[in-house]
Amino acid sequence: MKKMGLLVFIAALAAGFFYFDLHTLLTLDGLKSGLAQFGAWRDDSPLLVGGAFLLLYVIVTALSLPGAVIMTLAAGALFGLLWGTVIVSFASSIGATLAFLVSRYLLQDTVQSRFGGRLKAFNEGIAKDGAFYLFTLRLVPIFPFFLINLLMGLTTIRALTFYWVSQVGMFVGTLVYVNAGTQLGQLESLSGILSPSLLLSFVLLGVFPLIAKKIVDVVKARRVYAGFSKPKSFDRNLIVIGAGAGGLVSAYIAATVKAKVTLIEAHKMGGDCLNYGCIPSKALIKSAKVAHQMRHAENYGLNSSEPTFSFKKVMQRVHDVISKVEPHDSVERYSNMGVDVVQGYAKLIDPWTVEIQRNDGDTQRLTARSIVLATGARPFVPNLPGLDEVGYYTSDTLWEAFAKFDEPPKRLVVLGGGPIGCELAQSFARLGSTVTQVERSARIMGREDEDVSKLAQESLLQDGVILLTSHSAVRCEKDGDVKRLIVEHDEQESVVEFDALICAVGREARLDGYGLENLGIETKGTIVTNDYLETLYPNIFAAGDVAGPYQFTHVAAHQAWYAAVNALFGSFKKFRVDYRVIPWTTFVDPEVARVGLSEKDAKDQGIAYEMVRYELDDLDRAIADSAAKGFVKVLTVPGKDTILGVTIVGEHAGDLLAEFVLAMKHGLGLNKVLGTIHTYPTWAEANKYAAGEWKRAHAPQRILNWLEKYHAWRRG
């Protein structure tokens, strides 16, 4: 309401300006003809006229009315170069800031809440370099003054910064115009003020800070190399450390574009995903799911039976699966591609030199123009008293260790309610362990919306997992062969006895032991990089889990493209990593898949959204598969079919998500999803029905009412 009042007030002032023909005064001819009269008033009371002029100037610019240029000339003609410049310099900056504030007050919330997600990178850019860009715009008077005020109001730049940068930035332009005003008599037209050569000077002036910044960047970049002597030539174009998803893809890209590249891996090719992460966990999940289906075979009209199996064989299958995928990441495959694969531990010696402690015992030094660090992450082990004494497993150790067991652990504790903890807890529960899962916060999978956690929780409980949410692990105790975990809830301690304990409370980037400290490469939980994945040294890049902010194989591979391309071709063109559409899936049963915003994210970030939800118990295929559980939830821009985020809970959710990932990536809305033929009866139809829900919610009611009347009339 207040905003409406302000808008009406501004509109009234603007209308008055035009109604009383004030705009005709603010032309070159109007100014020239009125100059004698204004001059006489000024002579009578210079202070009053000077003050009134300043006020009028502020009003004209604050209301974004046309005429600021003429008033600047008038200032020169009436008050001379010095006072004219002083008056205009302050009046234009104050007026510009008022226009900026009005625009901010009226529109910024709407713009930021509507487009906040997509403006995130822009806002970050403004926070970092906004003053600098504004200064450049202000220096060159060819950018419309009022437009800069209004647009800047929509950004997140601080008002005070806007004021002083405007005042400083506009000074030279003001001087030129005020000076032109002092010779008003000789001035034939406004275009006469800015001769082509003067205009060029302004453009050069505007470009100057950009060039200066570039030079500063180059000097800064050079400074970090001070004290190191750069090799005259290099053994390699690129050295990649770590052969997980991030390192493999970096090396692959380098070899594809014919660069000479060495890939160094200390342990197993394929990194965590192949050997300790995605692949073994998904193989285990499959066996556990089959066991679950046998136990619930009555759902399919068959006799349910308690699965009998050899746990050793289940774990053997896990290792067989790893072996079958292994060739994709093998030394042979990468060597055949032209990658020089070295097995050994790499250490940065200087920004171009890597020393390798080869697994065959030799030490080797190699130099490269660029280096990609793709050293990954490892399980985080909490500092829990007694943990070392009772012994524990992590994703790094459990696959080997459990493969030796004849039976799954009878009583298994899983510490952690995140994706890895949930996947493992459910799998081992389905394979016969009595699993107690301990999570400090009030719900599992806390990154997702509450309705998602609720469904996942129900599912784990049905599988027999004892879920201790809002429970903190306090300490472990060992009494002979008896192992205990002490947990605390509501300030009350309780005891969980166990045979094996898995730590799945998160993963920490590998940051030590390979020279980051010696080179002073900054780390904050992960290696600190800029938007191009450059570390402190612009020729050293980081990708994957070690760079964050995500910890997924597909994100590591995505970043690897940027790291490798920027490393090899950055002197010509650098690419900022694009994190706009990042999907992920947690492979609990039913699966949980997400891309873009959840409701929680949208609320936390103050982004306006509409939500539609399609329940999978309505889907024919889900009913036929006796798996009618879950939903597709889509967040859209209010009033539009633009997708802000999708969460799917259900069978095949990870695969179903792909359609929305594609849609978001390429700016396709729900109408396009709805207009696409989906095979009947498939799970993919759920996506179309979710789009249908959106369409129904946005049906044009008024037209439908008219159509109802029309059909009634047609029936006679």
Ligand X SMILES: Cc1cc2nc3c(=O)[nH]c(=O)nc-3n(C[C@H](O)[C@H](O)[C@H](O)COP(=O)(O)OP(=O)(O)OC[C@H]3O[C@@H](n4cnc5c(N)ncnc54)[C@H](O)[C@@H]3O)c2cc1C
Q: Which residues bind ligand X (CB under 6 A)?
A: 241-247, 264-267, 271-273, 276-278, 281, 345-346, 374-377, 395, 420, 510, 514, 544-546, 551-554, 556, 587
Burial of 301 by CB count in 10 Å (0-12 exposed, 13-18 middle, 19+ buried)? exposed
Question: Quick one: DSSP state of residue 545?
Answer: G
CB of 442 to ligand X, least distance (A): 24
The residue (of 173 and 271) whose beta carbon lies closer to ligand X is 271
CB of 395 to ligand X, least distance (A): 4
Contact 69, 174 (CB under 8 A): no
CB of 169 to ligand X, least distance (A): 44
C-alpha to C-alpha distance for 352 and 363, rounded to whole angstroms? 17
The residue (of 457 and 526) whose beta carbon lies closer to ligand X is 526
C-alpha to C-alpha distance for 314 and 210, rounded to whole angstroms? 62
Alpha-carbon 537 to chain mean position: 23
The residue (of 284 and 691) whose beta carbon lies closer to ligand X is 284
How many Cβ atoms sit within 10 Å of the Cβ of residue 704?
10
The answer to whether the peptide bond before residue 46 is cis (omega within 30 degrees of 0) is no
CB of 274 to ligand X, least distance (A): 8
The residue (of 141 and 244) whose beta carbon lies closer to ligand X is 244
C-alpha to C-alpha distance for 7 and 664, rounded to whole angstroms? 36
Contact 251, 240 (CB under 8 A): yes
Residue with tokens 């100057």: 208
State which H helix or E strand residue 369 sits in. Answer: strand 363-373
The residue (of 152 and 504) whose beta carbon lies closer to ligand X is 504
The residue (of 272 and 659) whose beta carbon lies closer to ligand X is 272
CB of 233 to ligand X, least distance (A): 24
CB of 238 to ligand X, least distance (A): 15
C-alpha to C-alpha distance for 153 and 159, rounded to whole angstroms? 8
Q: In what order do the strands lie in the sheet with 500-503?
A: 466-468, 434-438, 411-415, 500-503
Residue with tokens 């050793």: 312
C-alpha to C-alpha distance for 587 and 285, rounded to whole angstroms? 8
The two beta strands, 610-615 and 631-636, are antiparallel
The residue (of 23 and 378) whose beta carbon lies closer to ligand X is 378
CA atoms within 13 A on the CB side of 668: 15
The residue (of 181 and 247) whose beta carbon lies closer to ligand X is 247
The residue (of 153 and 376) whose beta carbon lies closer to ligand X is 376
Strand positions, DSSP E, 570-715: 583-586, 591-596, 610-615, 631-636, 643-650
CB of 584 to ligand X, least distance (A): 7
CB of 208 to ligand X, least distance (A): 42
How many Cβ atoms sit within 10 Å of the Cβ of residue 407?
12
The residue (of 152 and 285) whose beta carbon lies closer to ligand X is 285
C-alpha to C-alpha distance for 649 and 288, rounded to whole angstroms? 19
Question: Quick one: DSSP state of residue 534?
Answer: B
The string of DSSP codes covering 555-585 is: HHHHHHHHHHHHHHHTTT-------SS-EEE
CB of 248 to ligand X, least distance (A): 7
CB of 280 to ligand X, least distance (A): 7
List C-alpha distances in Å: 288 to 95, 300, 425, 483, 538. 69, 18, 11, 26, 47
CB of 419 to ligand X, least distance (A): 7
Residue 7 corresponds to which amino acid?
L
CB of 653 to ligand X, least distance (A): 13
The residue (of 116 and 376) whose beta carbon lies closer to ligand X is 376
Alpha-carbon 85 to chain mean position: 45
Q: How far apart are the first and last CA of the chain?
A: 48
The residue (of 100 and 402) whose beta carbon lies closer to ligand X is 402
Give bridge partners of residue 347 from the DSSP assignment: 355
CB of 352 to ligand X, least distance (A): 16
Question: Count of H helices and E strands in the chain?
Answer: 27, 20
CB of 207 to ligand X, least distance (A): 40
The residue (of 557 and 637) whose beta carbon lies closer to ligand X is 557
